Structure 1
Amino acid sequence: MAEILEAQVEALLNVEKQMRNANEVAETKKAVCNILSLCFEARAWKMLNDQIVLLSKRRGQLKQAVTAIVQQAMQYIDQTPDLETRIELIKTLNTVSAGKIYVEIERARLIKSLAKIKEEQGLIDEAAELMQEIAVETFGAMAKTEKIAFILEQVRLCLDRQDYVRAQILSRRISPRAFEVDSSKAELKHKGDAVVEVAPADIPSLLQLKRIYYELMIRYYRHHNEYLEVCRCYKAIYGIPSVKEDPGQWIPILRKICWYLALAPHDPMQSSLLNSTLEDKNLSEIPKFKLLLKQLLTMEVILWTTLWNEFEVEFASEKNLLGGPLGEKAAEDLRQRVIEHNILVVSEYYSRISLKRFAELLCLSLQDAEKHLSDMVVSKALVAKIDRATGVVCFQVVKDSNAVLNSWSMNLEKLLGLVEKSCHQIHKETIVHKAALKV
């Protein structure tokens, strides 16, 4: 059988040579495909690999023939008898396609297949290194969804190996605007640009990729405890139509949005998200969380013990819901946010307050109250000074000489305006009374 196969292959090689020299593209492609088919049908995997290399390196080989070789051989990968043969075939095709721009998409898919095998073997680092070799964002002929899926796979592998710096760099290759579907532009591109290939059937849709992207970003931001960014990611997932239509999906996500809003440090972005979330009608389905957000917006002191007793069960139950547990660190940070909220409330109502009374309002010891206040001053969330000699906290902003002079100037201007207005009114009344006396 081997001798017959070799004879058949040799005959086809002669045909391929003649067609190649005659620059007959269609016949050359047919000849090389027939050679690969013979090797595959005979299950001669070693000969198949040898012929792939041989045909691709023949003098003056046509680009179309090399493309046909790679594309046909890729169909045989899933039909290999064992893992070793599969890896050998992928590596052979990878070698043949290396450096050839006309088979760059095929090479990217081969690398992805090899990386998946490495990952299944537990070699996460090797799989990540393989995937990082390919920069699919430069591939003009690759479908948009396939590009995004490939980059997301790169990001996921980096997160799995805890390479958060590289994961962030790779994630920046995807713009959130890429997930916005414009049907008119998509139709125009489909009709007018036939060069762009159709994405494989196993590639998720654009909205599915959007959810995968934000779930990966949640993993990244949670590692760095960037609560506001995590909240924004959950907001983006919450806005996906398929999620909004299913209460089983949007209720856990809305809970997470509320939690991470409560955990995020106070700033203008957090306040904006807090107000917009409170306006959401779906929040009425989870009244406890609506109450939590209202408490954070109301300028009143929140008692930590009362709040924790009310929400401790809800906090613990998050581990059984979408997105996983919040963790012990989150519980500590929640207490920190409540203390910061209380300090801001006190600063709104008092310009000066004794440190002892300040600590009583916060339900903290003197040392803890002073520490938390100092941290907020250092982070520029608040302007305050502590006079330790007298034990007084001052929330008034100390003005420089220019600010004081400007304030005096404005006050004098207002005073002179009032005097002028009063004089005008007196003069008016005098004239009216004189006219009345004359009459």
Structure 2
Amino acid sequence: MVKSNLEAEIEQLQNVEKQMRLAADVPGTKKAVTDILQLCFEAKDWKSLNDQILLLSKKRGQLKQAVTAMVQQAMQYIDQTPDVETRVELIKTLNTVSAGKIYVEIERARLIKKLAKIKEEQGLIAEAAELMQEVAVETFGAMAKTEKIAFILEQVRLCLDRQDYVRAQILSKRISPRVFDADSSKEKKKPKEGDDVVEEAPADIPSLLELKRIYYELMIRYYTHNNDYLEICRCYKAIYEIPAVKENPSEWIPVLRKICWYLILSPHDPMQSSLLNSSLEDKNLTEIPKFKLLLKQLVTMEVIQWTSLWHMYKDEFENEKNLLGGSLGDKAAEDLRQRIIEHNILVVSKYYSRITMKRLAELLCLSIQVCLFYCFSCTTFSNLCLLQCVCISVLIFIL
């Protein structure tokens, strides 16, 4: 009885919708289609709801405004569905209706994001990532900037979760880091005639500064895969500059520790040297004096004794896994020793023009064989005269 009443009411509204549509009455058509959907929702007849959405969208000469209103109305019902299967079916129906229609492209992007979230909760990470990659939100002129960035960051995160690092890098290039430095306090310019009217971002979209932190945390995950210590350091540096982080010591101290560690782990080059010197000028380093001392040793042209340095900083090094960002990586301890050796070779190259391999090994606290390996593998061996002298001493040693 209830079912027959529902069908009768829907039929009446369909006649009204037809009259409004043929008369090109936009407000009347929008009200008719949304009333039909509301009837199905109140009756909790989810199958009829899906059928009506498809039927109304395929009507001859259906108005764009009516389709938009219908999709937006049905999206409000998604979170009120009784189970996951019904929710997925409704989302798929709305995706079918919105596919290829530029006037509901933003709604379609939001629907795909919801569907991808459901797939992820079911453990289908690969499917969720592929779904998200179907949408190129950077071309959506009417979508709010923060919503675009949040969508792309979700694409990057899912690619990292499925260990698709190539795709993650490609997607991350769609966001320019300069966008996070935009002054949001400036008044928005009024759109010119013919320009897209930018919609307001949904309430659950993070602010621009929050998105900045999410972006750099994802980039840290990407660069950690490649053990690109200098880029990881630069990412932490960007997080460190966020006002909300700088104002809270419990936030910036772990970040500053990470900056120091990754600076030391980075191979010596002009960028690393510049960051090292600028970091030493940071007044906040006085709050972590051991790390200030560590950085000073790196800029001082004196040989560093590895055993004493490791004894002093081993606990701090291992404690990083309990702080923000987690451990420094599986190879970090080995790479740290290599960086200290490279530093020592640079120091030796400054003070010696000729040196025997035996003496060099003594200064570096290494065996001759290990010293020889580091000399020829060290990319920072800048003094060619010293390299020639080492080669001569090697020949003498062999003979």
Number of the residue aligned with 2:308: 306
| CA offset digits 1:242-279 (Å, max 9, x no partner) | 00000000000000000000000000000000000000
Shift of the alpha carbon at 1:237?
0.2
Counterparts of 1:292 and 1:126, CA distance in 2: 46
**Structure 1: how far apart are the matches of 2:93 and 2:112?**
12
1:58 aligns with 2:69: no
Paired residues of 2:346 and 2:381 also in contact (CA < 8 A): no
Instruction: Tell me the equivalent position of 1:42.
Output: 43
TM-superposed deviation, 1:183: 3.6
Query: Structure 1 residue 92: deviation in Å?
Result: 0.2
Q: 1:279-337, CA deviations, whole angstroms, 9 ceiling, x for partnerless residues?
A: 00000000000000000000000000000000000001111100001134100000000
Q: When the two structures are aligned, how many residues end up with a matched partner?
A: 391
**Counterpart of 2:395?**
389
Show structure 1 runs of 5+ residues with no match: 393-439
Q: Closer, same or farther in 2 for the Cα pair 1:191/1:291, shift >3 Å?
A: farther
How far 1:182 moved relative to its partner?
1.8
Assess if the C-alpha contact under 8 Å between 1:238 and 1:244 holds in 2. Answer: yes
Shift in Å at residue 185 of structure 1? Answer: 4.7
The letter of the residue matching 1:389 is: L
Q: Distance in 2 between matches of 1:186 and 1:169?
A: 32
Cα contact 2:29–2:66 (8 A) shared by 1: yes
Number of the residue aligned with 1:404: none
User: In the alignment, which residue of structure 2 is the partner of 1:10?
Assistant: 11
Answer 1 or 2: higher relative contact order, Cα 8 Å, separation at least 6. 2
| 8 Å contact kept, 1:124–1:157 | yes
Q: TM-score, normalised by structure 1?
A: 0.87
Equivalent residues in 2 for 1:306-385 (5 A)? Answer: 306-376=308-378, 381-383=382-384, 384-385=387-388
Q: Which runs of 5+ in 2 are unaligned?
A: none
The CA deviation at 1:180 is 1.4
Q: Does 1:296 align with 2:298?
A: yes
2:249 is the counterpart of 1:247: yes
Aligned equivalents of 2:5 and 2:240: distance in 1? 63
SS in 1 for 2:395: coil
Letter in 2 for 1:390: I
C-alpha deviation, 1:38, in angstroms: 0.5
Tell me the distance in 2 between the aligned counterparts of 1:189 and 1:165: 39
Distance, in Å, in 2 between the alignment partners of 1:106 and 1:117 is: 17
- The residue number in structure 2 matching 1:99 is 100
Tell me the amino acid that sits aligned with residue 78 of structure 1: D
How big is the alpha-carbon RMSD for the aligned residues of Structure 1 and Structure 2? 1.5
What's the offset of the Cα at 1:190?
Answer: 8.0
Give the CA deviation at 1:184: 5.8
Post-superposition CA distance 1:150-171 (Å, at most 9, x none) = 0000000000000000000000
Counterpart of 1:436 in structure 2 is: none
Aligned to 1:218: 220
CA contact (8 A) 1:33 1:72 kept: yes
Structure 1 contact 77–90 (Cα < 8 Å) conserved: yes
- TM-score when scaled to structure 2? 0.96
Contact preservation (8 Å) 2:112, 2:132:
yes
Would you say the 8 A contact 2:68–2:104 is kept in 1?
yes
| Mapping of residues 251-266 of structure 1, within 5 Å | 251-266=253-268
Deviation at 1:20, TM superposition (A): 0.5
The CA distance in 2 between the partners of 1:90 and 1:123, in whole Å, is 17
Counterpart residue identity of residue 343, structure 1: I
Classify the secondary structure of the residue corresponding to 2:355: strand
SS of corresponding position for 1:352: coil
Deviation digits for residues 41-89 of structure 1, max 9, x if unmatched?
0111000000000000000101001001100000000000111100000
Q: In the alignment, is the contact (CA less than 8 A) between 1:376 and 1:382 conserved in 2?
A: no
Alpha carbons of structure 1 residues 350 and 189: separation in structure 2 relative to 1, 3 Å: farther
Q: Partners in 1 of 2:395 and 2:46 — Cα distance?
A: 87
Please give the alpha-carbon distance, in whole angstroms, between the structure 2 residues aligned to 1:5 and 1:382: 88
| 1:187 CA displacement | 2.5
Match of 1:68 in 2: 69
381-390 or 132-141, which deviates more: 381-390
Partner of 2:109: 108
Question: Do the aligned partners of 1:49 and 1:92 also contact (CA within 8 Å) in 2?
Answer: yes
Return closer, same or farther for 1:139/1:382 CA change in 2, 3 Å cut-off.
farther
Cα distance between partner residues in 2 of 1:328 and 1:382: 31
Name the residue aligned to 1:28.
Answer: 29
Larger Rg: 1
2:152 partner amino acid: I
Deviation at 1:188, TM superposition (A): 2.2
Q: Would the alpha carbon gap of residues 332 and 244 (structure 1) be closer, same or farther in structure 2, given more than 3 Å must change?
A: same
* Runs (4+) off by over 2 Å: 183-194, 379-383, 388-392
User: What amino acid maps onto 2:7 in structure 1?
Assistant: E
Distance (whole Å) between structure 2 residues aligned to residue 358 and residue 25 of structure 1: 86
Equivalence for 1:419? none
Q: Distance in 1 between matches of 2:261 and 2:229?
A: 9
The answer for the alignment partner of 1:154 in structure 2 is 155
Any conservation in 2 of the 1:222–1:230 contact (CA below 8 Å)?
Answer: yes
Give the Cα separation in 1 of the matches to 2:251 and 2:98: 43
CA distance in 1, matches of 2:367, 2:165: 39
Cα distance in 1 for partners of 2:181, 2:146 equals 12
